[in-house]
Amino acid sequence: MKVLGFRGDPKAPRYAVVCQDSATFTLENATSDSKLQVPASIADEADAARLEWMYREILRIFDAHPGISKVMVKQNEFTQQDTKAKRRSAHTDAAVVLACAHRDIPVELKIYASMGTTKAKSKELAEIRVARTAKYWDEKMADAVNAAWWGLRR
């Protein structure tokens, strides 16, 4: 089974493609692309341009990694002090959900509490559960790995 874990970000969303073979979890993109850098030409544009770009990137990931059976999105933890960046990240999540709907791939939206982790433990748990990337290893990438791992457990 193969799951795509996704963590939105207004400038550089992260994704993890995790496979499970028996009890072994493998991060398929550990040494390759995992960071979707929004092109500078549209980074500050209206939401429509960025969302169309994100939608196409998700379809590209599906094509590059055939067999993805589920997508798990780690959402932001919303508070009363939400920011424009958090809203843009939520819009990015919506583009992922739309791409999944068009490819008939189930998608689940999760927060830390529903994935059995916390922000402080995300990196450590992702490394223990699956692996870390060779480049750009950060909390957002760990969130994507943990989301994919959680999706494979069920």
Per-residue pLDDT at 134 exceeds 70 = yes
Tell me the per-residue pLDDT of 24-67, one tens digit each, with 9 for 90 and over: 999 999 999 899 998 888 877 667 888 899 999 999 999 999 99
**Taking Cα atoms as reference points, which of 141, 152, 143 lies closest to residue 29?**
141
Rounded to 5 degrees, φ, ψ at 17 are: -110, 110
Specify the pLDDT at position 52.
92
Pair of tokens at residue 152: 């494979």
CA angle 113, 59, 136 (to 5 degrees): 55
Pair of tokens at residue 49: 């341009």
Pair of tokens at residue 27: 């991060």
Give CA separation, 56 vs 96, 107, 118, 119, in Å: 9, 17, 31, 29
What residue type is assigned to position 19 of the chain? C
Specify the pLDDT at position 78.
73
Q: How far is CA 40 from the centre of its chain?
A: 21
Tell me the per-residue pLDDT of 61-91, one tens digit each, with 9 for 90 and over: 999 999 999 999 999 887 777 777 777 888 8
Pair of tokens at residue 97: 């959900």
Pair of tokens at residue 39: 């092109």
**17 vs 21, higher pLDDT:** 17
Specify the pLDDT at position 88.
80
Tell me the per-residue pLDDT of 103-123, one tens digit each, with 9 for 90 and over: 999 999 999 999 889 999 999
CA distance 73 to 148: 8
Question: Model-level pTM greater than 0.85?
Answer: yes
